[in-house]
Amino acid sequence: MKKSISLVATGMIALSVLAGCGNKEEASGGSNGKVKIEFLEYKSEAKGTFSELAKKFEKENPNIDIVVTNPPDSVTVLKTRVAKRDLPDVIGMGGDVSYAEISKAGALKDVSKDSALNDIQPAYIDMLKDISKQDKVYGIPYAANANAVIYNKTIFKELGIEVPTTWEEFIAAAEKVKAAGKIPFYFTFKDAWTALPAYNVLAANTQGDDFFKKLDKGDTKFAEGHKEAAEKLLTLLKYGHKDQNGKAYNDGNVAFAKGESAMYLQGIWAIPEIKKANPNIEVGVFPYPIGDSKVVSGVDLLLAQSSTTEHPKEAKKFIEFLLSDENMKEYLTQQNAFSAKKGIVQEAPELEGLKASFEKGAVVDFPDHYVPTAVALDKQLQVLTQKKDAKQYLKTLDTEWEKVANRK
């Protein structure tokens, strides 16, 4: 990275940290005598939901105030605050490589023996252990998301398209949509991360078992394990629209809601935004018909308590409040997510197409959760969508991965 860019980035982070410090000071206590707990959560779309739940908690606990913070680029802000030991009391983050880094830094409380884990589906606990390469657990898995093909049921009916169950049928469906003069897939690569949902599924179902364990040992490379995924992604791009790299995530949600494409390769978290834009849209989902057709589903949100909080009892009480069946159902309903907790079922009719996969355990973790931030998988994918050079893309991934490995 050029020095000038680095300095700009550092300045932005510094500003974020100052804002974070202000929140921390506010959360540590106040003139009203109440205990203030800062809850930093990384999902911008969930801030409203958590603010509502925080108000509900405060009514039940009048001596505790919850300050919900959701800064831009919240994970970067959190890492900076970890380095400065200026931690929020409660943290809501994804079960990915950032969780691994922050837990190894000693910033999170060990909850391996917390009884709350007894109610969590074991697969999600195992995912946290696999990602962090630790036997201990430093957060309670809360919600799981899934990547799926979101489709417009009305367009499928009009064109007589059945939900595809094989890759060949999937491409045939795209061909049929294209032949009808409509857009098969809407892409939004102006936001680099939006290439990840489709790529995660393609990679997870083609890379083979234990790909990242083998990669760590030097027994394989991206050029081998991710070749098919990269090529299949490029195949899907042929059925997109003009200016795929000029459209952003919000553009895609609105365009799909207005019926501009038959399918949308996004996570199920996009559905609430789509329905906001068009409450009358008939939308459904189905697993990508590739390989074993496993649905990519990982720990989208975990709840962790900082190891340095001055109010551990109050922080734990708030986490327990969020984990209650009633409040978890409220979150799942508003955010269109799946529960990491046993016995809580997502009843949204538009997600019916994924229920069978969850019931039979045909799920696999997000591959990008295992890729270090420094590799910049999303940015590499963005370049792939522009240059459409799979060989160079895979070579770059291997080079960047080796750089990170050599620094360990």
Half-sphere exposure of 303 (CA within 13 A, CB side): 24
Q: Looking at the predicted structure, is the pLDDT value of residue 7 above 90?
A: no
DSSP type of residue 341: B
Tell me the pLDDT of the chain averaged across its residues. 90
Q: Quote the pLDDT of residue 292.
A: 82
DSSP type of residue 144: E
Q: Which domains does the chain have, with CATH numbers?
A: 3-143+298-345 (3.40.190.10), 147-296+371-407 (3.40.190.10)
Tokens of 119: 């109610």
Backbone angles phi, psi at 183, to 5 degrees: -90, 120
Q: Quote the pLDDT of residue 193.
A: 94
Measured distance between the N- and C-terminal CA atoms of the chain, rounded to whole angstroms? 19
Percent of the chain surpassing pLDDT 90: 79
Structural Rg of the chain based on CA atoms = 21
The one-letter amino acid code at 69 reads T
Q: Looking at the predicted structure, is the pLDDT value of residue 360 above 90?
A: no
Q: Looking at the predicted structure, is the pLDDT value of residue 13 above 70?
A: no
The pLDDT tens digits for 174-195 are 999 999 999 999 999 999 999 9
Q: Quote the pLDDT of residue 128.
A: 95
8 A C-beta contact, residue 145 and residue 337: yes
Sheet with 299-305: strands ordered across: 64-69, 35-41, 90-93, 299-305, 140-144, 338-339
The pLDDT tens digits for 243-281 are 999 999 999 999 999 999 999 999 998 998 999 999 999
pTM higher than 0.95, yes or no?
Answer: no
Q: Looking at the predicted structure, is the pLDDT value of residue 23 above 70?
A: no
8 A C-beta contact, residue 138 and residue 110: yes
Q: Are strands 283-286 and 147-152 parallel, antiparallel or unpaired?
A: antiparallel
Tokens of 332: 């799942």
Task: Report the sign of the C-alpha dihedral through residues 10, 12, 18, 21, in that order.
Answer: negative
